Amino acid sequence: MDLGRIGVWTGALGLMPAAQARSAVEEIEALGFGAIWYPEPVGGKEALSHAALLLGWSERIVVASGIANIWARDAIAMANAARALTDAFPGRFLLGMGASNEVSVPARGHEYSRPFSRMRAYLDAMDEAPYTAPEPEQAVRRILAALGPRMLALAAERSIGAHPYFVPVEHTAFARDIVGSGPVLAPAQTVALSEDRAEVRRVATEHMRFYLARSPYRNSLSRFGWSDADMEDAGSDALLDAIVAWGGVGAIRDRVQAQFDAGADHVCVQPLGAEPDDPQLGALKQLAPALMHA
């Protein structure tokens, strides 16, 4: 599976009508990005059927769930959907999986508890899932959302690697030390193509507020010395700067390079905009040459 160096992480495709989403996918692929990463929000498009749409609308780009929530379907359904997609689109589907958080899981009618144990048992059940259709010629590739040491180690042991989200560059070096040299490390890097701090704060506020209200991300940031005051509401300016790469193309290129220098194999950039259903194609057009040819 060839993820390339740079992918795009976007939730906008799940908020657009199919015809518009298809056009956006075609444009992102034409820009040369290696992968499209997309989330599975509560009330949003179901992750595996969404993957089938994105794969069908494209020709070469890898489609990666970032992430498919393990509380949204049983392990057999997850395993067999991934098998079907891998068979139909060899080398192009990456099953990103995660245990989510204490806000999203109860919203699905489940109790959020012991996410590490839940993930480990879920992987066991996936590995044992029966399948009466033909097995794909290539093995299913999966990657785990991972922030803390135990989940990172599990990602290295039971998948191709880890997909950390909402993390500063320091986390990438920390994660690389844990997963070792072999597994793929594919952090997301939020970006805002603006040199106006007030505008960056405006487009980033809801993003920061959303993740800072969830304990896995707060716990992760605490490991790197961020205080409760830094994580209040939409975060301090210093934390904003650590999470969101902003400024001109050069400043964003430098932050992405810092992720590679810290141990990343693949960086998925997530451009922020004023509207959640805007995939920021204009920003991606400006960033693509600098990021992929650095």
Write the pLDDT tens digit of every residue in 130-147: 999 999 999 999 999 999
Which residues are CB-neighbours of 117 under 8 A, at least 6 positions away?
Answer: none
Task: Please state the domain extents for the chain.
Answer: 6-189+250-292
Please give the pLDDT value at position 174.
Answer: 98
Q: Do you know the residue count of the chain?
A: 294
User: Going by CATH, does the domain composed of 6-189+250-292 fall within 3.40.190.10?
Assistant: no
Measuring CA to CA, how many Å separate 96 from each of 70, 264, 268, 279?
10, 16, 13, 20
What's the rounded Cα separation, in Å, for the pair 96 and 69?
Answer: 9
Distance in angstroms (rounded) separating the CA atoms of residues 14 and 40 = 8
Q: With H, G, I as helix, E, B as strand and everything else as coil, classify residue 18.
A: helix
Mean residue pLDDT across the chain: 97
Alpha carbons 33 and 7: distance in angstroms, whole number: 5
Residue where the block lists tokens 């879920």: 122
Span 1-18, average pLDDT: 96
Is 43 exposed, middle or buried (CB count within 10 Å of its CB: 0-12, 13-18, 19+)?
Answer: exposed
Q: What per-residue confidence (pLDDT) applies to 122? A: 98
Ranking 31-40, 65-74, 106-115, 119-128 by mean pLDDT, the lowest is 106-115
Model confidence pLDDT, tens digit, residues 93-125? 999 999 988 889 898 999 999 999 999 999 999
Task: Average the pLDDT over 58-76 and give the result.
Answer: 97
Residue 293, pLDDT > 90, answer no
Cα separation, 234 vs 222, whole angstroms: 16
Does pTM top 0.95 for this prediction?
yes
Average pLDDT over residues 49-59: 98
Does residue 140 sit in helix, strand or coil? coil
How far are the Cα atoms of 68, 83, 109, 282 from residue 143, in angstroms, in the given order?
A: 10, 15, 25, 29
For residue 68, list its beta bridge partners: 97
Positions of E strands within the chain: 6-9, 35-38, 62-65, 68-69, 93-98, 141-144, 161-162, 184-185, 188-192, 244-246, 267-271
Can you give the pLDDT at residue 273? 94
Look-up of token digits 């899981």: 105
- Per-residue confidence (pLDDT) for residue 294, from 0 to 100: 64
